[in-house]
Copies of this chain bind each other. A is one copy, B any other.
């Protein structure tokens, strides 16, 4: 019994322990445990008179693979050993511990910060030397990613957030940090999707939507919102200002898996649009360790399509000629394993290369300002005319 008490003390946060312990969520408790586990392993090694080390899963292309069964990009099992008593590894080892201790402080204090904020929290000159813990942000960022994979905790669980970008509107009521938010009554601006949307922060209270329409750009989202598309079609409307940030991807994932909403993506007919779809669907190579909680293999591509110039009778003047980089990217993307076996995607990408031009969603405006909301998307949905 006394032993248990001591154990408890070690786990207690630094300030106002009693108060904070009450507030700490289930998820924060788990994150703390994994952070403390990391520290415990150093103590154990020391007690056993062994060299402390950590095995960091390797975040290289060679350690990433597509799982045809799960239909997501995953990390393999390769790891890199990082030792304290090794001149070339000691700095990275200590930086990893420093990042972990910074995150533990954040979790204990119930506070969050940006990766820039964490960098400043940890940056200092090591006593008695002229050595800086981190000289630049670039040195800190990969260590943060290492810590994520090492602990198996998402950045958001470590109380770090990425830039916020993206909005949502539609018939869903959320509880965000204790405030009830009706996304159908958010004016012209919509609900700004926060960077941390884990269930402890954002709870789904009530949802009358039948699907999610995710569009690429804020301007297109604005068109759909102004035309109250989400009211007519009982859907949620999201955008991520280009490549959706982690918060938006995670929210789409939760909407799909917890509320069983199909996700339709309205993106540009260009390699960048294809790539955004690919990341939403299978995950990205850089953040392969997050696919499990981010990727949505059932996401559907609703357009724009390489056949749309003819199909929709668009003016020739909305065509944008592909540049060398577009062509190169398209040829890479057409060989992605998840596109390689899909005839429809092979046709789509090859047709774009034949066209030698790309089309933005905004090009539909040349027909009529509301053509995209009143004709294009309703027709695609009615005819179940999408790629997946």
Contacts and interface: CB of A to CB of B under 8 A. Distances in A.
Interface string A314-328: 011110000000000
A11 interface: no
A182 to B, nearest CB: 9
Chain B CB within 10 Å — which of A109, A113, A188 has the most?
Answer: A188
A289 interface: no
A360 B132 CA distance: 18
B189 A176 contact: yes
Interface of A is mostly: mixed
A174 B189 CA distance: 12
Interface in A218-233: 218-219, 222-223, 226-227
A196 B219 CA distance: 13
B366 A113 contact: no
Q: How large is the interface on A (under 10, 10 to 19, 20 to 34, 35 or more residues)?
A: 35 or more
Contact of A125 (B192, B226, B315, B369): B315
A317 B125 contact: yes
A117 B369 contact: yes
Interface stretch (A159-167, A258-266, A279-287): A159-167
A277 interface: no
B164 A218 contact: yes
A257 interface: no
A194 B201 contact: no
Contacts of A315: 123-125
13 contacts: A109-B369, A111-B369, A112-B222, A113-B219, A114-B222, A114-B362, A120-B362, A120-B366, A124-B315, A164-B167, A164-B189, A179-B187, A188-B194
Interface of A: 105-106, 109, 111-114, 116-117, 120-121, 123-125, 132-133, 161, 163-164, 167, 174-181, 185-194, 196, 201-202, 218-219, 222-223, 226-227, 315-318, 360, 362-366, 369-370
7 tightest A-B CB contacts, nearest first: A176-B187, A114-B219, A189-B192, A192-B192, A189-B194, A120-B365, A179-B185
